[in-house]
């Protein structure tokens, strides 16, 4: 019997997929898969570079992490983050996240709010512990404060709180040269909102609905495989920005130097030229979603984020269903992170996974 998968409509403000669109004084929006991928691969399409700042402040962090680095500095800084991740076992991350989720459900008893109790806490805490921070529990709040101001445009009070939080994280982290230290902290910050959004989307789409039980097909399959399709249809990171360093031709359009570009992953992930039945939930598609980027600046922690999210969702799928309450999201132009998504136990869970002593 062939599985029938649901149709998942895009978020209301997802732009349609089409040729590059120019906006007076605001640059260009790219929505087609090929155009977004071309911009990600073109060295003339550069990330906005962050200016350096005083030691152990938000500006210091942004000025040293690979994400906001100029091309000539990016490779070495990215290598520092990749080296920190290389020591982490992804299966162990998944098991640790599952164990923490099971413990949280045992403590909750009844309803549990996924964003507050799990999505914003478990991945950061597990990752902070494995990266050697002295107090992983305290790191959770500090990382959240930094993440709130990580992208440009935060108000002065949010930046001030982030400055203090960076100093706290530096004090917790193992001593290291500045670039290595900053990129270790940067891994935690990048994991915060993106992984929380991925867990929230997975809980929304993969858990049984509150009243009528779903068909067996809608729940069948490996969580990691299902999550790859959730990542395409409901991405936690909906886009990223670039600026042209020279004349660039994308999608048949010549873009002049200094043009701001908005690359919309959410639209590109539904490009009908690449994905047959683009709104249908069909796990196992051969073409990857662009949510984690592509090329030299693709997210270095993609596999680790998926492992952490899979650990949380394995337990939720086994033990919970969604409640009838509406899912609410943070107001943000490029992130899709739930602020409230409640679940309730549907049957007795299995024993929490064993985590090897550290």
> How confident is the model over 99-116, as a mean pLDDT?
93
Asked whether 355 and 329 are in contact (CB, 8 A), the reply is no
| Cα separation, 17 vs 270, whole angstroms | 7
Q: Give the model's pLDDT for residue 109.
A: 79
46 pairs with which residues across the strands?
243
Q: What are phi and psi of 260, to 5 degrees?
A: -70, 135
Q: Give the model's pLDDT for residue 356.
A: 45
Of the pLDDT bands very low, low, confident and very high (cuts 50, 70, 90), residue 215 is very low
The mean pLDDT of the chain is 91
> How confident is the model over 117-136, as a mean pLDDT?
97
| Cα separation, 231 vs 58, whole angstroms | 29
Segments of the chain assigned E as strands: 21-23, 27-30, 45-46, 112-113, 239-244, 248-250, 253-255, 260-264, 320-322, 328-329, 338-340, 342-345
More confident residue, 356 or 278: 278
Q: Give the model's pLDDT for residue 225.
A: 93
| Cα separation, 120 vs 124, whole angstroms | 7
Distances (CA, A) of 310 to 90, 98, 116, 138, 186: 10, 8, 17, 24, 22
Pairing of strands 248-250, 320-322: unpaired
| Cα separation, 289 vs 56, whole angstroms | 35
- Domain 48-224+293-345 class in CATH: mainly alpha
pLDDT above 80 for 353: no
Domain boundaries, the chain: 48-224+293-345
> How confident is the model over 331-339, as a mean pLDDT?
91
What the block records as the tokens of 109 is 């008893």
> How confident is the model over 78-106, as a mean pLDDT?
96
254 CB neighbour count, 10 Å cutoff: 10
Distances (CA, A) of 320 to 175, 213, 358: 41, 12, 29
Distances (CA, A) of 225 to 139, 146, 201, 311, 314: 30, 31, 14, 13, 12
Write out pLDDT tens, residues 251-271: 999 999 999 999 999 999 999
Q: What is the pTM (predicted TM-score) of this model?
A: 0.92
320 pairs with which residues across the strands?
345
pLDDT above 70 for 12: yes
| Cα separation, 354 vs 94, whole angstroms | 11
More confident residue, 152 or 177: 177
Q: Give the model's pLDDT for residue 209.
A: 79
Write out pLDDT tens, residues 280-309: 999 999 999 999 999 889 999 999 999 999
pLDDT above 80 for 224: yes
Q: What are phi and psi of 244, to 5 degrees?
A: -80, 135
Of the pLDDT bands very low, low, confident and very high (cuts 50, 70, 90), residue 2 is very low
């Amino acid at each position: 019997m062939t599985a029938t998968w649901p149709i998942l409509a895009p978020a209301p403000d997802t732009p349609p997929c089409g040729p590059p669109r120019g906006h007076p004084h605001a640059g260009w929006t790219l929505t087609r898969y090929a155009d977004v991928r071309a911009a990600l691969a073109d060295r003339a399409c550069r990330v906005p570079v962050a200016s350096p700042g005083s030691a152990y402040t938000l500006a210091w962090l942004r000025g040293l992490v690979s994400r906001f680095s100029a091309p000539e500095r990016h490779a070495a800084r990215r290598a520092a983050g990749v080296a920190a991740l290389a020591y982490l076992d992804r299966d162990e991350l998944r098991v640790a996240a599952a164990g923490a989720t099971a413990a949280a459900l045992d403590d909750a008893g009844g309803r549990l709010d996924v964003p507050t109790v799990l999505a914003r806490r478990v991945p950061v805490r597990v990752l902070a512990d494995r990266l050697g921070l002295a107090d992983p529990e305290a790191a959770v709040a500090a990382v959240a404060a930094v993440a709130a101001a990580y992208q440009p445009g935060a108000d002065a009070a949010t930046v001030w709180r982030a400055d203090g939080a960076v100093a706290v994280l530096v004090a917790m982290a193992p001593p290291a040269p500045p670039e290595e230290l900053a990129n270790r902290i940067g891994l935690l910050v990048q994991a915060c909102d993106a992984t929380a959004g991925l867990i929230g989307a997975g809980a929304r789409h993969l858990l049984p609905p509150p009243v009528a039980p779903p068909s067996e097909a809608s729940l069948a399959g490996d969580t990691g495989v299902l999550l790859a399709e959730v990542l395409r249809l409901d991405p936690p990171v909906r886009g990223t920005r670039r600026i042209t360093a020279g004349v660039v031709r994308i999608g048949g359009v010549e873009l002049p130097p200094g043009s701001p570009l908005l690359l919309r992953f959410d639209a590109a992930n539904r490009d009908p030229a690449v994905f047959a039945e683009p709104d249908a939930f069909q796990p196992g598609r051969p073409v990857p979603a662009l949510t984690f980027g592509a090329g030299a600046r693709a997210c270095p922690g993609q596999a680790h984020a998926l492992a952490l999210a899979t650990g949380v969702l394995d337990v939720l799928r086994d033990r919970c269903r969604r409640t009838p309450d509406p899912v609410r999201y943070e107001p943000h132009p490029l992130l899709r992170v739930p602020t409230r998504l409640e679940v309730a136990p549907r049957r007795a869970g299995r024993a929490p996974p064993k985590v090897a002593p550290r």
